[in-house]
C-alpha cells in the first residue's frame, strides 16, 4: 500500500474524530428541538479562540479545553433561554435567529482576536510522533490522541444516553416528542440542558481542532458545513449514525483533497445526494 494512501486513511480517521466530537452535540439538539442551529460552527470557532487565550494565561491545555467548552455552553444556554425559546415552532425565525447570532459571534471574534489565522500549541506531552504497529509508519501523537479521545466520548455518550434517566428521556424525546410532553416531563429544561451540552462539545472541539488545524475567520462555516453533512448522512438523533457519518465524511474529504483537490467538494457532496435520494432520513435516522 502506498504511503499517500495510508496517510489519507489515517488523516481521514483523525478528521472523522474531530467531526464526531463537533457533531455529536448538534445531532441531539437538532433532533430533539428540530432547530437548524447555524450557530454551532461559531461556537466551535469562539471556543477555540477562548481556549487559545486561556492557554496563554494558564499554560494548561486541559484547562483551555474545559474553558472553551464551558464558555460556549454558557453562551448556548443564553441563546436557547432568551432567544430561541420565544421563536419555538417557527422554523424560519429560529433559523434567522441562529444565523444572526453566528454572524455576530464571527464579527466579535474578528474584533477581539483579529483576522490572522492562529494555531493552538500542541501540549508537550502530545508532541512528536510514534510508529504505528504493523504498518511501521511514524504518525503524529496528537492525531492518535484525537482518535482515542473520540472513542472515549463515544463510550461516555453511549453510557449517558443508554444508562441514565436523563439520557433515556432525551432518546424518548427524539423518538416521540409529543409523548414525552404528555407525560409531564419539563421539556423546556430538557431543551436547555441538551443545548448547553451541544455548546460545550462544540467549544471543546474548537480547542481540539485549533490544535489540529488552525483557527481563522471562515473556519466556523467550513466546520458547520462538514458537521451538517455528518448528521444528515448518518441520521439525526442516532449516535451510531453520527459515528458512521463522521467516518464517511472524514475519509471522503481526506481522499478527495489528496487525490483530486479540484473536485473535493463535488466528491464530498455526491454521496450526500445519493444517500438522501434513497433514505431521506439518513442511514440510521428514523422516519418522522
More confident residue, 104 or 184: 104
283 pLDDT band, cuts 50/70/90, is confident
Q: What is the pLDDT of residue 238?
A: 79
Structural fold of domain 3-122+138-278: ABC transporter involved in vitamin B12 uptake, BtuC (1.10.3470)
Distance from chain centroid for Cα 172 = 22
47, 72 contact by CB (below 8 A): yes
Domain boundaries, the chain: 3-122+138-278
64 pLDDT band, cuts 50/70/90, is very high
Is the pLDDT reported for residue 261 higher than 60? yes
Instruction: Read off the pLDDT of each residue in 6-12 and give the average, rounded to a whole number.
Output: 90
Nearest C-alpha neighbor of 185 from the set 201, 202, 171: 171
DSSP-derived 3-state class of residue 215? strand
DSSP-derived 3-state class of residue 283? coil
What does pTM read for this prediction? 0.92
Nearest C-alpha neighbor of 13 from the set 236, 204, 262, 252: 252
237, 167 contact by CB (below 8 A): no
Share of the chain above pLDDT 70, in %: 94
15, 250 contact by CB (below 8 A): yes
45, 109 contact by CB (below 8 A): yes
77, 25 contact by CB (below 8 A): no
Looking at the DSSP assignment, which residues form a beta bridge with residue 129? 140
Where are the strands (E) in 97-166, listed by range? 129-132, 137-140
170, 30 contact by CB (below 8 A): no
Average per-residue pLDDT in the chain?
88
Is the pLDDT reported for residue 288 higher than 60? no
65-81: per-residue pLDDT in tens?
Answer: 999 999 999 999 999 88
Look at 6-20, 45-59, 104-118, 232-246 and tell me which has the smallest mean pLDDT.
232-246
Q: What is the pLDDT of residue 141?
A: 93
More confident residue, 217 or 88: 217
- Report CA dihedral (162, 164, 169, 171) to the nearest 10 degrees: -20
Amino acid at each position: 500500500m502506498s504511503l499517500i494512501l495510508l496517510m489519507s486513511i489515517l488523516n481521514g480517521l483523525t478528521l472523522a474524530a474531530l467531526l464526531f466530537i463537533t457533531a455529536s452535540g448538534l445531532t441531539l439538539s437538532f433532533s430533539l428541538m428540530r432547530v437548524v442551529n447555524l450557530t454551532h460552527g461559531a461556537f466551535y470557532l469562539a471556543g477555540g479562540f477562548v481556549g487559545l487565550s486561556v492557554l496563554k494565561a494558564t499554560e494548561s491545555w486541559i484547562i483551555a479545553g474545559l474553558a472553551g467548552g464551558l464558555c460556549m455552553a454558557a453562551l448556548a444556554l443564553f441563546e436557547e433561554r432568551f432567544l430561541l425559546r420565544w421563536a419555538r415552532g417557527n422554523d424560519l425565525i429560529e433559523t434567522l435567529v441562529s444565523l444572526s447570532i453566528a454572524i455576530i459571534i464571527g464579527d466579535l471574534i474578528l474584533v477581539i482576536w483579529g483576522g490572522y489565522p492562529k494555531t493552538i500549541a500542541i501540549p508537550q506531552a502530545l508532541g512528536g510522533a510514534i510508529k504505528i504497529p504493523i504498518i511501521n509508519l511514524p504518525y503524529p501523537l496528537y492525531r492518535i490522541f484525537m482518535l482515542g479521545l473520540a472513542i472515549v466520548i463515544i463510550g461516555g455518550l453511549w453510557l449517558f444516553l443508554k444508562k441514565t434517566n436523563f439520557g433515556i428521556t432525551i432518546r424518548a424525546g427524539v423518538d416521540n416528542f409529543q409523548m414525552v410532553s404528555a407525560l409531564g416531563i419539563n421539556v423546556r429544561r430538557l431543551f436547555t440542558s441538551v443545548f448547553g451540552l451541544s455548546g460545550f462539545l462544540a467549544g471543546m472541539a474548537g480547542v481540539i481542532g485549533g490544535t489540529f488545524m488552525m483557527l481563522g475567520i471562515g473556519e466556523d462555516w467550513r466546520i458547520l458545513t462538514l458537521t451538517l453533512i455528518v448528521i444528515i448522512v448518518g441520521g439525526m438523533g442516532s449516535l451510531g449514525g453520527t459515528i458512521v457519518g463522521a467516518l464517511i465524511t472524514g475519509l471522503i474529504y481526506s481522499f478527495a483533497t489528496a487525490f483530486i483537490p479540484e473536485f473535493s467538494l463535488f466528491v464530498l457532496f455526491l454521496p450526500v445526494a445519493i444517500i438522501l435520494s434513497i433514505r431521506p432520513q439518513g442511514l440510521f435516522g428514523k422516519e418522522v
